[in-house]
Structures are given as structure tokens and as C-alpha cells.
């Protein structure tokens, strides 16, 4: 489950997404340079498709075991985020996953419109399907928000059927949203939302409240700080997300009977030049910091090149800190300092490649010093319900088994 939003205005565009996945699923951030492809076939997550003659450079945020990506941007200034949507099905056999469609479009498309057309062509040719769950089976169809500096499109699907609508500003969540007002339809014009929505799974996803949160943010979405605030939104009345799970929060916290957790977040600023990307490289944007990265710069954590385990290690180390916050209360000074640090980085962001590389290195250093000031072992405890504690105990046991000694906080298991 996820939330994606974007705004296009006057040749500038802002894109933001939270990726909500299993709490134990590491999400890595990788930079893939452009290349001329000698191989004829490409192995996606479940199936093989013909490879393109050339691919564009892409920055991807993806679950480590999936070929495709949850979030990404390419050298042409196209950014895409996908969402699981729950339709009346049945869901397809293993084919291209929604994440595969996203990555293929970013590798091949020079504009948001071309990306949408590419995903439609691939969908109609190969279909969508296959288990996309990390530690449990999870099947769904997909929707997408694709954006460049001039255009924003929402593509929603059900099997091989689809609908597209162009917007100046939009947000999507885990629910179909386009009815009879679409611009183009594949499979016949219809009230797409009404015809294809599975009402039960859609309701339990918490997407109604989450989309209301992001839609409220759209009118004021003018800066990276505004986008970060939107991605950090918790549902009204939630006093401490480290003591209560919340599937209805844009910043999703695991702990309830249903629901995942925001495992990665990305904001992209597009103005026709080189994209500027703001990354958490970690779960839970409410306690993460968005660090500036100039697209195409040398990879340094949380960004890695393919085959380098640094991004994965960065995510796991950060996750250990977040697990140590369970059942604790953070002081308001934590959030004030978080915002002040980010503002200093945002203010220093520029188009200069070397300056931006130095800024990312500085941000990572200052982030580490910031977290060291707030040792979870010294924070006040807060009561948690037994079910919340038990749900997290199971995840933490599996987390330790999967990641072993690397999953430590301050050197302590």
C-alpha cells in the first residue's frame, strides 16, 4: 500500500511518494546509468520480455527481491509512482508486476505521456500479475502517477483494462479514482471506479482517509518542505504512532491487524534541468530526514550502484533505530531539529554537481549526529496494547533472523 502525489505548474513539477510494504522488507535506492544493451532479452521479476536497444539512466527505489521499482525518476525528468489497487479480479498469473511496468517505462520513456503509453502497451501485451508480497502472498492490480515538468497523468488498471486522465495536480492511493471522466479507456468507456473496485479490500486498505490527507495537501504543495509534510501526515487523533498501528495514515505504521509500513519515501523536483531528488533511504518519514541528491551524481549512501550492498545496509541500520523507538515517546525537540536540519539542506540545494555531492555527504553526517542525540534507550516509555506488542514481536523476531548482527542499534542487538 502506498500514497503518491504530484503538482505541475508553470514548467515546474513536484512529485512525492511513500512506499508502504512489509516492515521487514528492505527497500534499496539504486542508480542505473544509461547503457546500450547487447542482450536481446530482459528478465523481469517473473517473465522475460524483449530488451530495448538503449536504456535511460534511472534512479530507483525498489524492494531488494523485485526487479521492478516502487518509485523512480529518469534522466529525461520523468518520475513515476505506483499503487496497489483492489479490483474484482481475478488477478493474473505471473506476468509483469506493476513495479516492473514502472521500471520499464522509466528506462525507455522520454516524457510522462510516453511512459503512460509504454505501460499500456506492455500491459496489453504481457498482462500484469504475480505475488508481490514479501513475507505473505499479496496479489493486486496497479495504478500509476507519471509526471514530468509539463504534464501529470494517472493511469488506473484492472487486468488488461485501463483508463488514463491528465491532471494539473493529483494524488492516488490504494483505490480506483477515475469514473466516467477519463480521457482515454482501454476495454471500453465505463465508470471505471464503479465497475472494477473490490469494495471490501479497498475499504480495509485505509486508502480513503489517506487519499483525503494527500488531496488536502495538494493546494499547498509548492515546495519540498510541503511535500515532506504531506508524506509525514498521520491520521487525526493518533497520538503516538510508535504505540499504535495506523493503516489510515499517509505515514503508515505497522502494528494493527492489517496494514504495512512506509518503508521508503522519495520527493523529486523537476524543472527541466537535472532532477533533484530528496531521499529518506529508510522507513517512516516522520522520523526520517529527506537528504538531497542530484540525479546522476556519484552513488553514496543511501544511494548505491547495482550490486553494491551499501543502500541495503543503510536501510537495515536505520530500521534498527526505528524498531528501538517502539513503545517510546519522542520529544517535540526531535521534530523541531529534524525540520531545521532539512531546511538547512534544502536551502543549500543547487544545480552544481560537486556542491550537491558534498551536501549529501554532509547531510548523512549530520543525520547520524542527530540520531545519536536521541538514544531510544533514554526516551520515556509509553503503554502499548498487547496485540500491538505481539504483532511487532513476530516481526522483530523475523527481522533479527533475516538480518542478524547487522540489525543493531548503537551496537546492541
**Pick among 3.30.565.10, 3.30.450.70, 3.60.60.10, 3.40.50.740: CATH of 2-214+227-373:** 3.60.60.10
Note the pLDDT tens digit of each residue in 110-169.
999 999 999 999 999 999 999 999 998 999 999 999 999 999 999 999 999 999 999 999
Q: Are 54 and 34 in contact (CB under 8 A)?
A: yes
Is 244 one of the catalytic residues? no
Q: What is the mean pLDDT of residues 59-87?
A: 97
In the chain, where the domains are located: 2-214+227-373
Q: Which is nearest to 101 in space by CA: 126, 138, 64?
A: 126
- Mean pLDDT over the full length of the chain: 94
Instruction: Classify the C-alpha dihedral 140-32-289-390 as positive or negative.
Output: positive
Contacts of 240 (CB under 8 A, 6+ apart): 329, 382
Contact predicate 29/303, CB 8 Å: yes
DSSP E strands in 109-227: the ranges are 141-147, 152-158, 161-167, 169-172, 184-186
Residue 118 in grid coordinates:
509504454
Residue 402's pLDDT band (cuts 50, 70, 90): low
Strands, sheet with 141-147, edge to edge from the N-terminal-most edge strand: 184-186, 161-167, 152-158, 141-147, 79-85, 71-74, 58-63, 27-32, 303-304
Give the tens place of pLDDT for each residue, 271-311: 989 999 999 999 999 999 999 999 999 999 999 999 999 99
* Options 2, 132, 158, 250, the catalytic residue: 2
191 contacts 204 by C-beta, under 8 angstroms: no
The pTM assigned to this predicted structure is 0.95
Q: Residue 267 — very low, low, confident or very high, per pLDDT cuts 50/70/90?
A: very high
Q: Please say whether the beta carbons of 316 and 281 come within 8 A.
A: no
Amino acid at each position: 500500500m502506498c500514497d503518491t502525489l504530484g503538482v505541475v505548474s508553470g514548467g515546474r513539477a513536484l512529485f512525492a511518494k511513500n512506499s508502504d510494504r512489509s516492515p521487514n522488507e528492505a527497500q534499496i535506492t539504486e542508480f542505473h546509468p544509461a547503457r546500450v544493451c547487447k542482450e536481446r532479452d530482459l528478465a523481469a521479476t517473473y517473465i522475460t520480455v524483449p530488451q530495448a536497444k538503449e536504456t535511460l539512466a534511472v534512479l530507483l527505489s525498489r524492494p531488494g527481491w523485485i526487479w521492478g521499482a516502487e518509485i523512480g525518476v529518469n534522466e529525461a525528468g520523468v518520475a513515476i509512482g505506483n499503487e496497489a489497487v483492489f479490483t474484482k479480479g481475478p488477478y493474473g498469473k505471473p506476468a509483469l508486476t506493476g513495479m516492473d511496468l514502472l521500471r520499464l517505462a522509466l528506462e525507455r520513456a522520454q516524457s510522462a505521456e510516453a511512459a503512460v503509453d509504454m505501460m499500456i502497451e506492455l500491459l496489453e501485451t504481457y498482462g500484469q500479475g504475480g505475488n508481490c508480497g514479501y513475507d505473505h502472498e499479496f496479489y493486486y492490480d496497479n495504478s500509476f502517477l507519471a509526471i514530468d515538468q509539463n504534464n501529470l497523468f494517472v493511469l488506473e488498471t484492472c487486468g488488461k483494462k485501463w483508463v488514463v486522465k491528465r491532471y494539473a495536480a493529483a494524488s492516488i492511493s490504494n483505490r480506483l479514482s477515475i469514473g466516467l471522466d477519463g480521457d482515454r479507456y482501454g476495454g471500453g468507456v465505463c465508470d471505471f471506479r464503479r465497475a472494477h473496485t473490490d469494495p471490501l479490500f479497498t475499504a480495509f486498505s485505509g486508502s480513503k482517509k489517506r487519499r483525503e490527507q494527500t488531496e488536502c495537501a495538494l493546494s499547498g504543495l509548492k515546495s519540498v518542505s510541503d511535500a515532506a509534510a504531506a508524506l509525514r501526515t498521520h491520521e487525526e487523533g493518533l497520538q503516538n504512532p510508535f504505540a499504535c498501528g495506523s493503516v489510515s495514515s499517509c505515514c503508515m505504521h505497522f502494528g494493527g491487524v492489517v496494514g504495512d509500513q512506509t518503508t521508503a519515501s522519495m520527493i523529486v523536483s523537476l524543472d527541466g534541468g537535472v532532477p533533484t531528488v530528496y531521499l529518506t533511504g529508510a522507513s517512516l518519514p516522520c522520523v526520517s530526514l529527506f537528504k538531497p541528491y542530484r540525479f546522476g551524481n556519484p552513488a553514496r549512501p543511501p544511494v548505491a550502484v547495482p550490486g553494491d550492498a551499501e543502500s541495503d545496509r543503510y536501510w537495515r541500520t536505520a530500521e534498527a533505530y526505528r524498531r528501538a523507538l517502539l513503545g517510546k515517546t519522542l520529544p517535540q525537540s526531535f521534530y523541531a531539529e529534524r525540520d531545521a536540519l532539512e531546511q538547512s539542506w534544502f536551502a543549500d540545494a543547487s544545480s552544481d554537481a560537486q556542491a550537491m555531492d558534498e551536501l549529501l555527504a554532509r547531510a548523512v553526517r549530520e543525520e547520524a549526529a542527530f540520531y545519536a542525540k536521541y538514544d531510544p534507550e533514554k526516551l520515556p516509555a509509553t503503554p502499548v496494547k498487547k496485540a500491538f506488542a505481539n504483532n511487532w514481536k513476530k516481526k522483530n523476531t523475523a527481522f533479527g533472523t533475516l538480518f542478524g548482527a547487522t540489525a543493531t542499534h548503537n551496537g546492541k542487538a
